[in-house]
Amino acid sequence: MTRTWPVSWTVAAFMAVAVIGILLRPLLPIDETRYVSVAWEMYLSGDWFVPTKNGEIYTHKPPLLFWLINLAWMVTGVSEFAARLVAPLFAGATIVLTARLAGELWPGDRQTARRAAMVLAGMTIFGAFGGSTMFDTMLATATLVGLLGLFRALTRGGRVYWALYGFGIAFGIYAKGPVIFFHLIPALLLYPLWLERDRRPPLKSVLAGFGLALLVALVLVGLWLGPALIMGGPEYREAVLWKQSAGRVTNAFAHARAWWFYLAVLPAILFPWFWVPAVWRAALSARLEPGLKFCLSWALGSGLLFGLISAKQLHYLLPVLPAVALMIGRILPDEAGRARWPVAVVPVILTVIAVIAIDLGVGNVEDAQRFLSPSWAVWVWAALVIGLCVLAARLPVLVGNFALGLGIVLSLNVLLGISDPRETYDTSRIGAILAERQEEGIAMNQGGYHAEFNFTGRLRRPLDIITTEDAVRAWAKEHPRGVLVGQPRYSTIPWEPRKVLVFRNKDYGIWYVEDAPAGIAGDE
């Protein structure tokens, strides 16, 4: 028999790895630091309707994550750990809801539910991004809530389930915006393909139910969006209603990639299960029953839509991974035993060899070598990963690959915790310097600042953004004891920095205005 254990154990293992990651690694710039800084500014301002980033209106994401972080702070006080625990808790909820949806698709089959939970938690991409402070775990939870409502509405009938579908839509919009429709619409549009003919409700009933769902979603979203659009002004309205939705679909502001990007990285997205022969053998012989058709409609429909939009990132597909986990959990045979030569360890071993080669100087990849310092940390990581591979080879297929996939995430957290990036990616070093002088004036001498230092420095005022030498001179006269930060190679500051720190593998300078030559900070 394929060894499984209760879903609660799977969630506990996942959350343990996530918490270890929080304890070992710093908030990673620029995404995690940015989002917690937005929550910090919400805490300072008390404005829960219109978020800001470094004092400017922030329209790129809806407010749910920032609200939840602030709610956590109401209980714990301002705490980095509490803020970083919010998103992983939604990853745990996603695992639980995946098992619950398995129970709806295959009633009475507890083994499929348990296997699906283990498959999802064992996906390295899910573990890596699920333990990060980002929006995609909330979106995945919203997707599962909506699909549970949709499946029940189409198979059982009832307005309450259509309302639950609408709640899932609203939840997703609060989590990450209109992108929730990419996850919840395909299964609805394709229901004639996965629902047996004699169980299909009349089209008129489906349309009425969908109308109810949209009404519920509009009412719930309007509770925030209505006041926010009024309070945020014309710029905020244009950004929220157009630039951050339709604009991203047709012309990505960042992360624009070719249509085939997700196909090319599929072996990484579905690691380790893509590399398990037992899964492929089972898939080739599986009968396309309604539950599998439902998951295919969801996964392929969402995947196609994401392939058509210009912006593409690995974590965008996090809400689709439960569909894959459900299919693998259903088809993986009970008699799947121990794999004599687990194929999934091959890319892992090759990666270890490549990393060690870079650490030894092969290829002279300077940036990578700076990241992989000190060498002993790389060897500790390599030994841990090799141990995981040996463990995976000695365990049954399901448990072994679960341990391998989640263990890789743990090993990366350990590597970040014991290597130089633990310090060089920690924004609190520069944040503390800025905090000491924020009353005298603080500024960034380059564009593209994403509030990396605002939370970790507990800054109560935004940094001024100064990019030209004339602006630096004018600012220095107004702030004779001010501090400026930036990369020396791009600097327009006409004197030398007092300190140079390595941050994100780049040199960052700290300039004190009192170090400026005569005539810059004072009168000629």
Task: Please give the mean pLDDT across all residues of the chain.
Answer: 89
Rounded to 10 deg, the angle between the 321-331 and 110-121 helix axes is 130
What is the full DSSP assignment across 363-413? Answer: T--HHHHHHT-SHHHHHHHHHHHHHHHHHHHHSBHHHHHHHHHHHHHHHHH
DSSP state of 508: E
Judgement on whether residues 297 and 362 belong to the same structural domain of the protein: no
Among the candidates 275, 308, 331, a domain finishes at: 331
Bond preceding residue 69 cis, omega within 30 of 0: no
The pLDDT value recorded for residue 32 is 95
Whole-angstrom distance, CA of residue 389 vs CA of residue 383: 10
Residue 408 neighbours by CB under 8 Å, 6+ apart: 124, 127, 271, 348, 385, 388
Residues 474, 457 share a domain: yes
Mean local confidence (pLDDT), 350-373:
77
Is the residue at 339 inside a domain? no
Per-residue pLDDT at 79 exceeds 50 = yes
Q: Which tens digit of pLDDT belongs to each residue from 269-285?
A: 999 999 998 899 999 98
Assess whether pLDDT exceeds 70 at residue 499: yes
Two tokens, residue 422 = 């633990």
The better pLDDT of the pair 140, 228 is held by 140
Please state the pTM of the whole predicted model: 0.92
Same domain, 303 and 318: yes
| Torsion 233-234-236-242 (CA) sign | positive
**Residue-level pLDDT at 241:** 56
Do residues 357 and 244 both lie within one domain?
A: no
Asked if 117 and 156 sit in the same domain, the reply is yes
| pLDDT 10s digits, 50-76 | 899 999 989 888 899 999 999 999 999
Domain membership of residue 337 (yes or no) is no
Q: How many domains does the chain have?
A: 3
- Close Cβ partners of 5 (under 8 Å, ≥ 6 residues apart): 114, 118
Distance of CA 12 to the CA centre of its chain: 20
Task: Say whether both 248 and 367 belong to one domain.
Answer: no
User: Are 395 and 309 within one domain?
Assistant: no
Q: 361: helix, coil or strand?
A: coil
* Alpha-carbon span 455 to 447, nearest angstrom: 19
Mean pLDDT of 463-473: 93
Coil, strand or helix at 481? coil
Give yes or no for a contact between 137 and 127, defined as CB atoms under 8 angstroms apart: no
Average pLDDT over residues 155-180: 94
Whether residue 315 is found in the same domain as residue 364: no
Say which range, 40-44, 196-200, 299-303, 473-477, has the weakest mean pLDDT: 196-200
Residues 318 and 300 in one domain: yes
In the block, residue with structure tokens 């939009």: 309
H or E stretch at 510:
strand 506-512
CA distances from 350 to 346, 369, 383, 386 (A): 6, 18, 14, 11
Q: Answer with the one of 358, 391, 423 that is the final residue of a domain.
A: 423
> pLDDT at position 228, please?
82
- Whether 367 and 496 map to the same domain: the answer is no
Does residue 72 sit within a domain? Answer: yes
Q: Is the peptide bond before 272 cis (omega within 30 degrees of 0)?
A: yes
Asked if residue 523 is part of any domain, the answer here is no
DSSP class of residue 256 equals B
User: DSSP readout, 198-211?
Assistant: GGPPPHHHHHHHHH
Asked if residue 175 lies in contact with residue 138, where contact means CB atoms within 8 angstroms, the answer is: yes
More confident residue, 446 or 83: 83
- Residue 19 reports pLDDT greater than 80: yes
Cis peptide before 192 (omega within 30 of 0): no
| 422: nearest Cα among 385, 373, 456, 380 | 373
Q: Which domain holds residue 461?
A: 428-515
Q: Within a 10 A sphere around the Cβ of 341, how many other Cβ atoms?
A: 8
Residue 172 pLDDT exceeds 60: yes
Q: Which of the listed residues 370, 392, 423 is the one where a domain comes to its end?
A: 423
220 within domain boundaries = yes
Alpha-carbon dihedral of residues 143, 148, 153, 158, nearest 10 degrees? -110
Nearest to 357 by CA among 386, 379, 387: 379
- Three-point CA angle 162, 167, 170, nearest 5°: 130
In-domain check, residue 324: yes
Q: How far from chain centre, in Å, is Cα 509?
A: 30
Rounded to an integer, what distance in angstroms lies between the CA atom of residue 213 and that of residue 224? 18
- pLDDT exceeds 70 at position 399: yes
Looking at the chain, the whole-number percentage of residues with pLDDT higher than 70 is 92
Residue 499 in any domain: the answer is yes
Domain assignment of residue 391, yes or no: yes
Instruction: Check residue 511 and give left, alpha or beta (phi > 0: left; psi -120 to 50: alpha).
Output: beta
pLDDT class for 524, splitting at 50, 70, 90?
very low
Are residues 366 and 278 part of one domain? no
In this structure, the answer to whether residues 31 and 88 fall within a common structural domain is yes
